[in-house]
Amino acid sequence: MKIGLDVLGGDYAPESNILGAIAAQKTLKDDQRLVLFGDQEDTVERLKQAGANPDDFDFIHAPDAISMHEHPTKAISQKPNSSIAKGFVLLKNGDIDSFASAGNTGAMLVGAVFSVKTIPGVLRPAIATNVPKLKSGFGLLLDVGANADCKPEMLNQFAILGSLYTQHIYGIQDPKVGLLNIGEEEEKGNNLTISTYPLLKENDKINFIGNAEGRDLFTDLADVYVCDGFTGNVVLKLAESFYVVTLKKGMKDDFFDRFNYEQYGGSPILGVNAPVIIGHGISSPEAIKNMVLLSRNMIESQVVDKIRSAFN
């Protein structure tokens, strides 16, 4: 197993990424190799300085970084030696089994779709994020930004993607799917959700429990919440800002702790032909470490194969 990690992506790269990689590597088995994409010489030097043995890692020399504000498509095509572009070349060729980066989200999405491609039958990949539940554990919210405008058929597929992910990564059997909406009744909503409801209701690949409102997101009502990428992104960023407020105010609480992005490492792009994970821009070493472990989990669980089978 080869787990690809971008050393240059994220606000605290490369330091944070190197430290995270070292921490992750310690938990890997012998046949699980971490492949680091970045300036090879610099990376080796930093590993040594941090007391790690470079022999424990594989390296792909990719000295260019794609910054947060670069245009995704242009950057991928104009920077073939960037860590993200190289990562997707190797992922496409099967030289690595997953690729993760805390860098430019758009570049990660474009790279994934252009290299390993969308799974046949999937209309559009979605970015999924963890949603902490009040009692314990996590739910999943998707899409949170890959598709600002969605069609009902896309949301219906997100439900399948999210169900398979929560089943194989979180171990939730028969995960409950809720449609994020603005009313409990079937006829409530906007054009998109009103048209999506009957599709979800008749989708025998999922366990649809009906509409969920904003207030239900952290309850046990559902395990998977589907929505368009605009709504999901607003919700995600609002929830993050609440978490930041509780942090700043020194409010320690088990529920709020589970908002900590560091714990889950990153957000998977679901619906593409390989495990691809996008980390938070401010990823700490702990977050990077957990992004690597999530990558391993996605490879081991063969969740991408399960998704492919479902859409076959």
By CB under 8 A, name the one of 100, 217, 269, 270 that touches its own copies.
Answer: 217
Whether the Cβ atoms of residue 284 and residue 260 lie closer than 8 Å to each other: no
CB of 13 or CB of 127, closer to its own copies: 127
By the rule CB under 8 A, 253 interacts with its own copies:
yes
By the rule CB under 8 A, 130 interacts with its own copies:
no
Per DSSP bridges, beta strands 98-101 and 276-278 are parallel
Whether the Cβ atoms of residue 50 and residue 26 lie closer than 8 Å to each other: no
By CB under 8 A, name the one of 16, 156, 231, 290 that touches its own copies.
Answer: 231
Written as six digits, the tokens of 283 are: 């990823």
Classify 243 as helix, strand or coil. helix
CB of 58 or CB of 240, closer to its own copies: 240
The site map against its own copies for 78-117 (x = CB under 8 A) is: ----------------------------------------
By CB under 8 A, name the one of 76, 128, 180, 272 that touches its own copies.
Answer: 180
By the rule CB under 8 A, 186 interacts with its own copies:
no
Residues sharing a CB contact under 8 Å with residue 302, sequence separation 6 or more, in sequence order: 168
Report the nearest approach of its own copies to the CB of residue 129 (Å).
12
By the rule CB under 8 A, 282 interacts with its own copies:
no
How many residues touch its own copies (CB under 8 A)?
A: 38
CB of 19 or CB of 144, closer to its own copies: 144
Q: Packing angle between helix 83-92 and helix 105-114, nearest 10 degrees?
A: 30
Which one of 25-33, 58-66, 241-249, 302-310 is the stretch in contact with its own copies (CB under 8 A)? 241-249
What does each C-alpha distance from 285 to 10, 85, 157, 246 come to in angstroms? 11, 23, 34, 22
Longest dimension (CA), the chain: 61
By the rule CB under 8 A, 189 interacts with its own copies:
yes
Residues sharing a CB contact under 8 Å with residue 62, sequence separation 6 or more, in sequence order: 8, 37, 38, 39, 81, 82, 83, 85, 86, 87
Residue ranges in contact with its own copies by CB under 8 A: 134, 145, 148-149, 180, 182, 189-191, 193, 213-218, 227-231, 233-242, 244-246, 249, 251, 253, 255
